[in-house]
Amino acid sequence: MPDTRFDVIAIGNAIVDIMAPAQEAGIAALGLAKGGMTLVDAPRARELYDAMGPAREISGGSAANTLAGLAALGARCAFIGQVADDQFGQVFAHDIRAGGIAFETPVRDAGPPTAQCLIFVTPDGQRTMNTFLGASQFLPAAALDDEQIAAASVLYLEGYLWDPEEPRAAMRRAIAAARDAGRKVAFTLSDGFVIARHGDDFRALIADGQIDILFANEHELAALTGIEDFHEGIGHLGGKVPTVVVTRSEKGAYAISNGEHAEVPAEPIARVVDTTGAGDLFAAGFLFGYTRARPLAECLKLGAICAAEVISHYGARPEADLTELVAEMLG
C-alpha cells in the first residue's frame, strides 16, 4: 500500500461551540429548556448569541472532536466540513488548523451562516444547548478532494451528517474514493434518530462490505440490529463488519475484530462532570491505536483513557496532555 499523508481524514459537521455562563433567571427569560438541546434557526441563533455574556468559542462537531483527540495524541489528521464565509467560519478554520489538523474545504459564499451550538452553563453545571446546523448541512460532493481522501489510512464518517442530502452524497463519494485507494472506512452511528431515519442505508453499506470499522454505543447497536441482547447483537454485527466497537458508558467497551473479542472496563475518574464528547474521544483513542497496529484490547484501552479525560471537565475537547496519559501504554 502506498505511503499515506494522513492517519485519519474525517467528514463531519463543522460547528462552532459558543459557551457562556448564565443565571437561572436568564435561561427562563430566554424561554430555554434548561439542560436540553434544541435545534434553532438563524434568527434565533443570532438572538441567543446577542443575549450571551462573555463566551468561549471553539470549533466543535462530533468528527472534529475525534480529530482533535487524534491530533493531540500525535496523529496526522485532515477534516472535511462546510463553513460559510463569515466570522464563525473563520473561527472554525483557525481553531481546527491551530490544532494541527489540515482543513482545506472551500467556504460557502451563499446560503446559511456557519453552524453554531450556543451553550448556556448555569452555576449548577447544567448545559443548555441550542444548535443551528447552518452551512454544515450543505457540504457538496464537489468540495471533496479524492486525492486527499486516498492519502489517508482511514476515512472516518460522522453519522449525524448522513441526514441531509448533500453531505450524504459527498460521503458516498468519499467511501468510493477511499475504497478505490485500498483504504479503511470507519463510520460512527452518532445517534438513535439517525438510525431510525437511515438504518436501511447503513445496513446496506454493511451488507455491501463498505464499512471496515463501525462505532456505536449499546443503544445504537440494538437499534441497528433489532437485537436487545448485547452479546448477541455485537456477535451478529461482528460477522458482517471486520471491526465493531461498542461503548457501554460505565460498563466500559467491547470490540470484535476479525473474530477476536476484547473488552475493557471504564477508566476510573474522581467525578463525571460532562459526558459531552465521550464517544468522540473514545473513537480518537481507538483509531490512534488502530492506525499504529496496536492489539485490539490496547486500542480499546486508549479509547477508554481519552473518554475518561474528556468527561472529567466541561467541553468536548481534551484539556490534559493525552500523550502523557497514554505514554506508559505506548512505551
Per residue in 20-36, pLDDT tens? 889 999 999 999 988 88
* Separation of alpha carbons 321 and 1, rounded Å: 32
Is there a domain that residue 54 lies in? no
Question: pLDDT for 232-289, tens place per residue?
Answer: 999 999 889 999 999 988 888 999 999 999 999 888 887 777 667 788 999 999 999 9
Task: Sort residue 170 into left (φ over 0), alpha (ψ -120 to 50) or beta.
Answer: alpha
Prediction pTM value: 0.92
Q: How many domains does the chain have?
A: 1
The DSSP bridge partners found for residue 255 are 245, 262
CA of residue 290 relative to chain centroid, distance:
17
Is there a domain that residue 85 lies in? yes
What the block records as the C-alpha cell of 235 is 456477535
Is there a domain that residue 177 lies in? yes
Is there a domain that residue 218 lies in? yes
Is there a domain that residue 281 lies in? yes
pLDDT-derived band at 1 (thresholds 50, 70, 90) equals very low
Is there a domain that residue 40 lies in? no
Question: pLDDT for 293-308, tens place per residue?
Answer: 999 999 999 999 999 8
CA-to-CA separations, 169 to 19, 175, 238, 309, in angstroms, rounded:
32, 10, 27, 35
Is there a domain that residue 49 lies in? no
Is there a domain that residue 183 lies in? yes
The CATH number of whichever domain residue 199 belongs to comes to 3.40.1190.20
Domain that holds residue 86: 6-13+61-112+136-330
Angle at 52 between CA 16 and CA 41, to 5 degrees: 55
Decide: residue 6, CB within 10 A, 0-12 exposed, 13-18 middle, 19+ buried: buried
Task: Kindly report the average pLDDT of the chain as a whole number.
Answer: 91
